[in-house]
Amino acid sequence: MTPEDIEKQLKLVQSNKLDSSQAISLFIGFVGRLILKKETFRHNSDLEPFILEVLLKPFGKEQFRPYVYKSRTILTSRVLRLLEEKLTLTSTLTMAKKIQLILVPSGDYRENKEPISQSFLDKALDAWMSSIRNSYQSNEETKK
């Protein structure tokens, strides 16, 4: 994910367009994608300080054991389980701001670009909500 993509998604999490459960769910999905994709953190070892400072310390958790960092899927499952259990709206917004400060440079990549438009936020929110609805509907159909 580019810094611009990260900024857009975090702004959506922080916007007042989502209720608390939607913001938390979107943030959990964002963190999962951030860990799994190698665009931001090329090496698994690059994730260790980020995970500790941003995602573990706020909950008073210790660093994961070294073997967890060898597999991004194991790491993702551990982090997402922790977030699912512990996140509140306040902690979500705090973590989103912290991630934005760390991963989105306040440099010149934004200088020549227009601000993030409300229509982008609306489209992103609509796409996200429709994917949740589709997933829910397909789960309901398979249960029948």
Is the predicted pLDDT of residue 115 greater than 90, yes or no?
no
Cβ atoms of residues 49 and 90 within 8 Å: no
d(CA 78, CA 71): 11
d(CA 24, CA 31): 11
Query: What is the pTM (predicted TM-score) of this model?
Result: 0.69
Q: What is the pLDDT of residues 33-67, one digit of tens each?
A: 999 999 888 999 889 999 999 999 999 999 999 99
Residue 117 structural domain: 3-143
Closest CA to 85 of 2, 24, 23: 24
Number of domains in the chain: 1
- Kindly tell me the burial class for residue 23, based on how many C-beta atoms sit within 10 Å of its own C-beta (0-12, 13-18, 19 or more): buried
Q: What is the pLDDT of residues 72-104, one digit of tens each?
A: 999 999 999 999 999 999 999 999 999 988 888
